[in-house]
Amino acid sequence: EAGVVQSPRYKIIEKKQPVAFWCNPISGHNTLYWYLQNLGQGPELLIRYENEEAVDDSQLPKDRFSAERLKGVDSTLKIQPAELGDSAVYLCASSLGLGRGGEQFFGPGTRLTVL
Amino acid sequence: KQEVTQIPAALSVPEGENLVLNCSFTDSAIYNLQWFRQDPGKGLTSLLLIQSSQREQTSGRLNASLDKSSGRSTLYIAASQPGDSATYLCAVKTSYDKVIFGPGTSLSVIP
């Protein structure tokens, strides 16, 4: 069974440019998460989807970040415009079932460098 | 507000030693706790998931325990191997559906 797929794996852009990350969760997983991980720290949740609904986006900087999960499967996270401080690893995870008890499975992440 | 800490931040042990990694959380109202490993430049690999009603989970050489009342979980690794070298993170799912990660413990197993 395929795991969580993310692309691209690496992205280098100049500040003020837009960037988008794509995630394909494990088949059948209703819940999808986007995390940001800075070097030497644990991941921080940006947004959580239950099917196509964003149920927790309280940590998403909505002035420049947006996300969508059309049809409740794939998801895209966008930053526009990117800032130097956005350099980090962006991780996608998914879990089976709605909400609380599910084990999370992570993709390999996208390493973003903003110059 | 839930806070998760992991001590020590880094650990170096000789191959074959048994070791314990610690995870502490401030709010005992959790749904579950999950342990992950992360290799450099890679995503997180799930090791063990403990539901709030459980006391421990085992997988091979790994054993994770959970004591909600004291806000602690431990990950026990038996007979450590160089391949166990990685960063180990714990994450709690709170009663208000937040997932909070600790900062991780970087483990080096020396051959």
* Nearest-CB residue to B43 (from A48, A101, A109): A109
Q: Please write the tens of the pLDDT for every residue from A48-91.
A: 999 999 988 989 999 999 999 988 899 999 999 999 999 999 99
Give residue-wise pLDDT tens across range B73-101.
Answer: 999 999 999 999 999 999 999 877 788 99
| Pair B95, B31: CB distance under 8 Å | yes
Q: Do A100 and B93 touch (CB under 8 A)?
A: yes
Residue B12: partners with Cβ closer than 8 Å, 6 or more residues away: B107, B108, B109, B110
pLDDT value at position A18? Answer: 97
Residue A19: closest CA among A91, A83, A108, A97: A83
Task: Give the residue among A75, A86, A97 at the shortest CA–CA distance from A17.
Answer: A86
A3 has pLDDT over 80? yes
Question: Does B91 sit within 8 Å of A41, measured CB to CB?
Answer: no
Contacts of B91 in chain A (CB under 8 A): 42-43, 104
Nearest to B51 among A44, A55, A101 (CB): A101
pLDDT band at A107, cuts 50/70/90?
Answer: very high
CB distance A43–B44 less than 8 Å? Answer: yes
- Tell me the nearest-neighbour CA distance from B81 into chain A, angstroms: 23
Inter-chain residue contact A108 with B49, CB threshold 8 Å: no
Picking from A67, A64, A27, A70, the residue whose alpha carbon sits closest to that of residue A45 is: A67
What tokens were used for A47? 């947004």
pLDDT for res A100: 57
CB-based contact B29:B15 (threshold 8 Å): no
Nearest Cα of chain A lies from the Cα of B92 at a distance, in angstroms, of 11
In which band, very low, low, confident or very high, does the pLDDT at B23 lie, cut at 50, 70 and 90? very high
Which chain A residues touch B34 with a CB distance below 8 Å? Answer: 103-104
